[in-house]
Structure formats: C-alpha cells, structure tokens
Structure 1
C-alpha cells in the first residue's frame, strides 16, 4: 500500500499527464556540459537515477539559450543553440531512458545572469539598464540594446524547438525568478528603460510574454511551457534581504504586483507556475539554509492559487511528507524536491513505500551543491556519489575483509555503511553510549534538527547492513589484537578547545551548553565568532538571552566566502535581527563576577556577562592513530581526527577510503 497516496495521484500540466504529484526541482548544471554545449554523460546518469526512483516530473537545471549573449564559457552550462545536433543527440537518448521509467522531463531555459553574474564568470557585463554587479559594485553592467533583446527572444524560441526535437515533454522559462537577467527586466528597481521593455508592468514583462507566445506559435499550443516564478522579491534594497520574521518595506516586486504579473503571464500562455520567492539580493530565500522553517513557500503558493488557474509547482523545504500533503490543493498542485533528491536519489521511492527512517535528509548546508559552484559541479555533502552516479558508485569488494572502525561520529558511520555495502565484515566501536559524535551537540538547535536526522539515518543503515556496533567500548593499542582486523579505520573525532581566562568565571565550552550540561544565565559572552559560536549565539538569543560575541579576527564566520553565500548572508542577518552584539578584533582580558574585560586595539572596556562560553575551534584526536599506524595491517585516519573540517569532508573522505578498501 502506498504511503501518502495523495502525493502519488496523477497531475497535469496542459495536456501532459504526470504519473504523480512529485517533481525534481531545477538545480543548475554548471560544469555538466560537454565541449559542444550538450549534456555530458554524468548529468544524463544523474537525471535517469532520479527517474528510476519514482520522480514524476524532472525539470532540468538552467540551460542557456545563447552563450554569446554574455560571453559565458562553453563548458559553463548546456546550451541547445551552441551545437543543436550534439545537443539533440545527448538529450534524446537521455530522455528515452527517463521515459522508460514513466517519468516526464522539462528543460529549463535561461537568458542569463545580468547583474547577478559572479565576477569573472562572463565576459560581457549586460543588464536591462546600467547596473552595478550584485557581488562586486565596481563591475558595471551596461544596458542591453533592443537588437540584443530581440535576438535573445529568438534564441529562447529556437531552444524550445530543439528541446521538442530532443524528446523533452515541455520547457520551463527561467524568467521572472530570483533576480536573473529576465527578472531584472520585470523588477522596476532594476529596469529603468524608457522603450517598450521598460516602464509599465506590461512592458517590463514583455520579454517574458513574447517568449511564450513565440514558443507556442512554433511548437504548438499543446506543447507545455512552465514559468519559474518568484512571487515576491523579499529585498529591502540592493544586497539587502528581508527575513521571514522581519517587518520591512519591499524594494523589489511586492505581493500585489506579483499577483498582477502572474495574471499577465498566464494570460500570455504559460501553462504552470513554478513558484518561490527572492532575488540574488535576498539570495537565502531562493536557496533556503537550515534557518528556515519547513514549507516556507506555502504562503506564496496559496496566494497564487486564488488568482490563477494553472498548476502551481512548489518547493521550499517540503521534505516532511505531512507538510507536503497539507500543501496539496491549498498551496500547490505539484510538490517539488530539490536538495532532498541530491541527498537521496531514492527519496521518492522510500516515501512511497513508507521507509521514512531510511531517508538521508538534506542538511541545508549548501556545502556540496551551491557552495562548490565555480570549483566543481553540483553534488551533495551527505551523498558523495551525487552527480557521478556511475563513475563513483559502489562495487562489491573483490576480497571480503574484517574491518574495524574506531569511532561512531559521522566519518566512522559513513565508513561502516560503505564498507558493509561492499561486503566487508564491519565492526564499529564507540567509546560512549551514543552514535553521532559532534553532531549530537551540533544538532541541538531547532534549525540544525536535520543533523540528528542524519544520525538516525546512519543508525538504521547499520542495522540493515548488520554492522556489529559496540557501545561504551574503548579500543587501545593493547587490546587491538582482540578484533582480528584486516584493516583499521580510526575516526576518533575532535575535542573542543578551551581557554582558561584570568578571573573568576570558569571556562565552559559551547558543546557543554548545547548538551544541557551547563545552564547559561541571561547575559552571555561567547568567545569565538566561528560558525559554532555564532549558531550557539543565535540559539541562545532565540531563547531571549542577551548575547555578545567576541572574535579576535577582523571578521566573524571565518571571513566572507568561508561559508556558502546564502548561509552566510542569512546568519549575519539573523544575528543582527536578534540584537546579538558582535565585537571583532577583540579579545577577552579577564572575567569578573558579572562581566568580562575585553581589549579592542588600544581600547579596554567591559561587557556584561553572567556566563562566558568558549567556542574557539577543535583539536584533532589523533593519538590512537599515531599509536596504531605502525601495525602490520593498513590503518587509515579519517574525519576530524585527521583534520578538523565540516560534515561534508568527513563524509566524503570516509566514502573515498571505504569505497576502495
């Protein structure tokens, strides 16, 4: 019997029947184009894998209709018009495979980035009107000519014709969405043109309406055209997002204009609206970090359902099936999953068969997907094989061995999972009575709840794979021989660093507070403004405590770029919203009974502090590895015990080692 049967009833976009109400959201295939602008084999396998596991509709990531418009590198994105024959050859065979599983597929077509281009990614800096770049205000984008606009529209139409020949079931136009080039035309904040492509709302939408009318004319009225659509810009100004909790004046497209725009676009011929909110100036809305609640776009879908009569596709942290079911009919007609399908290609099939405890959930970290753009193609922090399903999958081990994994943190758990899948006999020893390591305190704040879901996933996987898990077990050099191991993997993690300040207050670490071992008072100073220190500050501030963060470096969070942009921007905005005081270039001199004395340059002053928390990083626990490294069997050291890093590298390094044992 199907679980959540409402999700598995058919849906329609125009006359195209979709076998269920579950769609794969478009996620940019940067780096997945071949030299001809066609789909390379990796991205073909990536989409087929999701079709095989039950997705009803796949909407590809953006494919550029013309690489020359902005001078984008050939391998930047797939492009139907670069070499139409090569493009058709690659995608036609992919679509045949996808259709074999009963899935449908739309190609998403984009006109480019405009002012939202990452510096250096394009050679021609253009925009609807003269604008400064989103990321670097020193880069100025010139106004597009009318001839360039007309050419771009024709490229969309030509790309749709090529897509239809390639066997795609429809196209999605990446237009009034996220502050990309075509959305910049639609938003008066960015569009200052005085010709027929600027001024009134109808004029600002003209490029998008002419595209759909042109496609319908050459591809036929029954060839479905969806629109990626951000109802609201959620921006206070240039490079200023507005938080969900915040009361602010909308600088971009507000809801009232969003409703009117949707009506005009549907009237022009769009068959569905794929809905979200935000722009590059409020980037965390389009690519929500863990700080958002589940189902964050439902309010926007519900509004549009009252005003247009085409299907609404809706994503936005919908991986709780109860949230998804509650959204159907009221907020949307099709549920869209993005990062959940990166994290677990089998997500839909596990949902259908009720194996919810086997789902590997997205953490909202962006480290493996958008955080890597510019350096590597889209993948996933918790799923190293994502985007390289065939070339980096798991094969049975030729020789089955006894493998001892020491440490039950995320690196040890991934090692045990992968090795057991490959057929090795795996024993995992954990010195405490819990699995999860540093994810246990790290997952305490509500916004980090999926960290604990990841631990639960691993526990279930080790059960299914018959891994021998020994709790409260300490492995030493003296007793290692008892395990008769052919291979040893140490994954003994890391320990929070501590500082004993001069003064009266005892040093406590963030993990002690997160685990409830020590209760904080109302006025708290946190020494250390890294990710853990700042997230602990946010968690305590959300409880009503007054927090100050003292960071010895010139910037918190490791400096700009240390985190994926959307996570960094939202966390910084949240720290400000919750009135958390940030002191950079500052150090604690000594503690007093209800304050700390700090030094900032030549200035010494006091901050109120009834509790002082230390969050200044972690130290590798590599002692056991060093003791065992001279044994006559291979010994590998992975995770934080090798090098303190993030969850992604703990999992990825573990996968790499266990994949080749």
Structure 2
C-alpha cells in the first residue's frame, strides 16, 4: 500500500508541466526596461485587491506589496489607479486623480524599496466597465454602447473630454513619479477604455477618434505619447496592450501587431500582452485553461517589435517561465495570482525549493470572485493575503501536543500552521491518503491543479515533522489516552440521503462512492442534485480520458482524426441528467467561472432539469414532476449529490473532556468549500 501511494504521489507531481528540476538561469537574469534594471525577469502583474477600503488600507497595501518584494519579484505592478473619478470602480479601487493622493502612494513605494524591490503604478480607466452605483458618475466610452456585464450604459465622450482624459493619464504618470514609483504601466487591455477605443466592437465613432484602424488607434497612441512627454525620456513606461480580444469582429491580429509597432515608435519601453475582455465568452485565466495557453500571442508581438515583451496568463511555475524565456518567446513573464498564493514563489524557486511553493490553482474563488462581488481579495490556498501583519506567524507561547483529526484541506492547513508555530502535531486520517474531498476535485478534467495543493501540504508536513497516521480512525478514548493537550476536529461531511422512495435500490449510489471508485456509473446516469459537486461529477462522467494528450496530438498531427472526431472520441458516451428542486444549477460555483463550467457541460450534452419534484426512484430511473407533467428519466445509475451534513460526532464526544476545536465541513457542511476550510484551518492554527 505504501509503495502504491508513493507511486500515486509521483504521478500527481508529474503534472507540473512535465518539467524536471532545473536551474533558472534565464528567469533570474537581470533585464533592462528603458533606464531601469530589474533583478530578474519575473513580474508580479497588476491585480485589483480592494484593500484600500479597509481600515488602515494603505498600510495593508504597503505590507502586501512589501512581502512580495521581499519574496523576490523583479517588478511589481499595482492594481489599476484611476486617472479620473468616472474611470474608477468606486471605493474598492485606488485613484491617482489628485496630488492629495501622492502621500498615500509614497508609503507603498517606500515599503517596497525598503525590501529591495521595484514597483510600477498602473494608470487605469475602466470606460464602459465602470459602475455608476460605485462611482456615482455616469460611465463614459468612445460610443454609447452598454457592456453586457454592466447595468449602466455609458455616455459618449466629447472631443474635449477625450483631450482631458489623455491629459489625465499624463498627470497621473507625473504623480506616480512624485510618489516614488519606479515606472508606470498604461492599462490598454482587458476591454477597458483604451481597448474600447481600439476595437470596432465598441468604437462606432466617425470623427477623428474612430472609423478606420488609424483613427481607432489614435487614442491609445496619444495617451502613450503624452505620458512619455510628461515623465521624460528616462522614466520607464510600460504599455499593457490587448494581444487577443477574444471578441467577435474585434481588432484583428494584423491590426494588433501594427499597434504594437506604433507603440514602440511612441516611446514605450516594454509591451505587456493582455488576453481577453471581461465580457468575452472564452475563459482565459480559469483552472480549465491550460498553462501557458496564450504565450504564442506574446511571441507574435515580440516578432513585431524590438522592445521587451511580457507574456502572461496561466503561468504559475518558474520552471515553466524558464522554458518560455529560454525559448525566446518573450522577455519577461508576468505572474499575478501566483504571488497571492505564495509571496516567496521567486525566492523558493531560486533556491530549488519548487516543492515548497504554494502553487496558484487558478480557482478564482477568493481573488476575482471576491473583487467582482465587492469584497476584498484573498486566496483560497493562502488566506493570509491581506492579513500580512496581523497573521504573521509567531512562535507559540506554550508548545503543546495537538491532534488534528481529518486530513482534508482544513486539517492540513491547521496542521501546517500549528507545526510552523512550534507545536507537536499528529494528524489522523481514516483514509489511506491525505486530501479529503480535494481528492474528488482533482479527478475532474481541468481541475488537476488541485494536485499541486496536495503536493504542497505533503511537502510542508514532512518538512515540519508532522506525524501523519493514515488509515487510522481516531476515537475519543484513544486521543485522551495518548495525552493530547488539544484537538482540532476536521472530519468533514457525510453525504446527505434525501427522503425519496426507492433510494435504497441497488443502482442508487452516493457521489462519494463514484469519486472513490466504489461504484461504477452506467451509460445513463441521473444525478439527484445540481450544485457544484454535481457539476464536477457530471464533467467527470462525460469525459473519456483513455486517450492521453500525447496520443491526441499524434492523431491530429498525422491527420488520423480531425479535431471534431477526436473531440467525439474524448467523450464517454454517457447520457447525464442533473436534477434540482430549485431554480438554479451550479450554486456554490464561483461568480467568474460558473458560466464557463455550465457552458462546458451543455456543450458535452449534460441535461439540466430544474424546478422539479421527485416522485420516486425505480429500477428504470427517476420519476419526476415538472410543471403539470410527470415523466421518467431513464437511468442505469442514480447518483445522490444532494448536499451533506457535518461529521461532528467526535467533537461532541470530546467536548468537556479536552480543549477541542471544530473546523471545515465538520463545523458547517458545504459543497467542496475548500476556501472556508483552509481559512478556518489557518485561523485556528494561529489561536492554539
């Protein structure tokens, strides 16, 4: 059993791009951006984190950026700083509209410089993406065309307002200089204002600022020229351009490459290549997007210019960055969310400690989902984001022997933090492997990144000397007999069995039995439930992974199969239904990824029936009532995925006999809520 588990862990770890241990010669090589030399080629890309609206928000931001500078980032780019109030996003985002904001920004630059880092301010204008209920002002745009992700329609900018906006970018750059920033980055991608002027989708003007490509490109070029003129020839200016809009009938690749060359002529020191618009129907940074899927776009831009080009999107491992740079596909690599997951990603990797990196899994659940929901950004795998000062790990005043029961995400994080603080930690897990319900998620096609989280915890627990007892079901008497000082109960959940006639029939199984391969699904599957775990299960059931990626590429290269035929072969042929009493499918999925998950399931033929009543489960399937109609949904297998209840029995048995803490699913049953579980584990680890 031990040998099989070791082999399994090695296979999981091979997911890391298939890259071998390597020296990061190119990634750690200094690089010149205009007059500025960076210590390496790894940039922390811009992210809105929303800390400004919290108490002591500027101090929090300063600590946040300083920690990333200390961790080795070559250059940090701030979240977008609005150059005009109507171009911002309300209290959640920073501004650089007036001189009174300079002292606050100076606190941030000072903190970064004290850690030996360099930082650039991103000059930002949301255009038609700005929310009136946040700014109190009408959004503005090149044309009065409403964005599908904004309930407020913009008004069209006048020629005078366009001139004022261009000057606002220049004035913002001067304020950045005065605040001590080492450079500025002009935000011209992701569907924001400059991008809106360039694209024929959003620019329907017929004056000097719209029409043909030359006039549509004029606004972005004027901003670039005016900023360059305002800050002088020696001050570094980066332009974040859209390399691929992923919008029908938008800017062509030929126009994009022409625009890149024009930006170089306008005096830009580097081009940072962004991908996609926020309203695009193509996922660009979610976990389902393959790593490095858009580097080819930056490579095309690099061939069109002589200044440094920066590649981004789904690059989360410095070994991957090293290969991209060594192949000459770009000059720098931008990582944004990986610096949320692990502020030390550069320093750890530089020392060859790749297994110790807490890898970004691109789940979006605590970063983008929070921001688009008006909350402060954090990180699912690193809840210390935004709490850098108050959550700094300090040694325990009294070292204790602590039992952690359950090795799911909550228990693993609790054990890690407790051990970091000097406690003696023993983890009990009744299964033969760690991970809990993360072991379900990592089986789902497109969610393999969860393997990285499990690799991180295995490495950390081994490094910290945590005793791991697998295949052991802890009991209250045993814990008391062993003399533990305190216990953390992270025993997870028990799948719920709804009261439906026929639920005890032999072809009715729980979602846990399918994920754990205790039950095999037939060709016709009905899932009772349509939440996040039912969506994961559906995705798993419709895919056929018998064809490896290498085999698939071979079949395509030699034209044995075309893309459509190959796609058909990669489907299992199962007919899958998801049923729900309520109105919505996929509740519990993240705001920024739910649409892509559901679209993918529909594309693979999964049928979703909502607002139904269950009549009974029969040997032939599930009888439901939908409106006035009663019908049988045929099924060889019926899977129950209708929620869960907390597995808290051990907690109650220990209460009053031992100081005991309840976290994760054992405290509150949720649908694979790893974000809350890891947060609670991290919090309790700091309390004991």
TM-score by length of 1: 0.90
The answer as to 2:122 corresponding to 1:123 is no
The answer as to 2:599 corresponding to 1:570 is no
Give the 3-state SS of the residue equivalent to 1:8 in structure 2. coil
Please name the residue that 1:52 is paired with. Answer: 70
Give the 3-state SS of the residue equivalent to 2:334 in structure 1. strand
The answer as to 2:160 corresponding to 1:147 is yes
Contact 1:384/1:655 (<8 A) preserved: yes
1:187 pairs with 187, 196, 199, which one? 199
Give the 3-state SS of the residue equivalent to 1:42 in structure 2. helix
Contact 2:22/2:319 (<8 A) preserved: no
Contact 1:550/1:587 (<8 A) preserved: no
Please name the residue that 1:159 is paired with. Answer: 172
Please name the residue that 1:238 is paired with. Answer: none
Q: CA deviation at 1:651?
A: 0.9
Alpha-carbon spacing, 1:613–1:11, altered in 2? closer, same or farther (3 Å): same
Give the 3-state SS of the residue equivalent to 2:446 in structure 1. helix
Alpha-carbon spacing, 1:636–1:628, altered in 2? closer, same or farther (3 Å): same
Q: CA deviation at 1:119?
A: 6.2
Contact 1:32/1:78 (<8 A) preserved: no
Alpha-carbon spacing, 1:594–1:12, altered in 2? closer, same or farther (3 Å): farther
2:606 pairs with 558, 580, 605, which one? 580
1:16-35 map, 5 Å: 16-32=36-52
Give the 3-state SS of the residue equivalent to 1:120 in structure 2. helix
Q: Which moved more, 1:414-423 or 1:268-277?
A: 268-277
Give the 3-state SS of the residue equivalent to 2:163 in structure 1. helix
Q: CA deviation at 1:622?
A: 0.9
Alpha-carbon spacing, 1:95–1:166, altered in 2? closer, same or farther (3 Å): farther
Give the 3-state SS of the residue equivalent to 2:538 in structure 1. helix
Please name the residue that 2:515 is paired with. Answer: 514
Partners of 1:326 and 1:464 lie apart in 2 by 28
Alpha-carbon spacing, 1:595–1:306, altered in 2? closer, same or farther (3 Å): farther
Please name the residue that 2:659 is paired with. Answer: 634
Please name the residue that 1:335 is paired with. Answer: 333
Please name the residue that 1:502 is paired with. Answer: 502
Please name the residue that 2:568 is paired with. Answer: none
Partners of 1:516 and 1:119 lie apart in 2 by 51
2:321 pairs with 320, 324, 349, which one? 324
Contact 1:39/1:90 (<8 A) preserved: no
Please name the residue that 2:405 is paired with. Answer: 406
Alpha-carbon spacing, 1:393–1:150, altered in 2? closer, same or farther (3 Å): same
Please name the residue that 2:679 is paired with. Answer: 652
Count residues with an aligned counterpart. Answer: 633
Q: CA deviation at 1:551?
A: 2.0
The answer as to 2:226 corresponding to 1:229 is no
1:178-327 map, 5 Å: 178-235=190-247, 250-282=248-280, 285-286=283-284, 288-327=285-324
Q: CA deviation at 1:173?
A: 0.4
Contact 1:27/1:60 (<8 A) preserved: yes
Alpha-carbon spacing, 1:613–1:257, altered in 2? closer, same or farther (3 Å): farther
Contact 1:71/1:124 (<8 A) preserved: no
Q: CA deviation at 1:92?
A: 4.1
RMSD: 2.4
Q: CA deviation at 1:304?
A: 1.6
Partner deviation per Cα, 1:538-587 (whole Å, 9 max, x = no partner): 222232133222222111012xxx54332112112212222222211134
Q: Which moved more, 1:584-593 or 1:195-204?
A: 584-593
Partners of 1:432 and 1:64 lie apart in 2 by 51
Q: CA deviation at 1:26?
A: 0.8
Partner deviation per Cα, 1:163-214 (whole Å, 9 max, x = no partner): 1222222111012x11112221221111122222221222222221111111
Q: CA deviation at 1:517?
A: 2.6
Contact 2:51/2:57 (<8 A) preserved: no
Q: CA deviation at 1:257?
A: 2.9
Partner deviation per Cα, 1:254-280 (whole Å, 9 max, x = no partner): 323322332333332222221131112
Q: Which moved more, 1:572-581 or 1:87-96?
A: 87-96
Alpha-carbon spacing, 1:213–1:71, altered in 2? closer, same or farther (3 Å): closer
Give 5+ residue unaligned stretches, structure 1.
236-249
Please name the residue that 1:442 is paired with. Answer: 441
TM-score by length of 2: 0.87
Partners of 1:21 and 1:456 lie apart in 2 by 26
Q: Which moved more, 1:639-648 or 1:189-198?
A: 189-198
Contact 1:549/1:582 (<8 A) preserved: yes
1:535-550 map, 5 Å: 535-543=536-544, 544=571, 545=573, 546-550=575-579
2:641 pairs with 603, 612, 615, which one? 615
Contact 1:2/1:352 (<8 A) preserved: no
Alpha-carbon spacing, 1:71–1:460, altered in 2? closer, same or farther (3 Å): closer
Give 5+ residue unaligned stretches, structure 2.
1-20, 545-570
Please name the residue that 1:393 is paired with. Answer: 392
Partners of 2:234 and 2:53 lie apart in 1 by 29
Q: CA deviation at 1:530?
A: 0.8
Alpha-carbon spacing, 1:71–1:223, altered in 2? closer, same or farther (3 Å): closer
Partners of 2:66 and 2:616 lie apart in 1 by 60
Partners of 1:566 and 1:84 lie apart in 2 by 31
Alpha-carbon spacing, 1:9–1:484, altered in 2? closer, same or farther (3 Å): same
Q: Which moved more, 1:119-128 or 1:147-156?
A: 119-128
Alpha-carbon spacing, 1:455–1:34, altered in 2? closer, same or farther (3 Å): closer
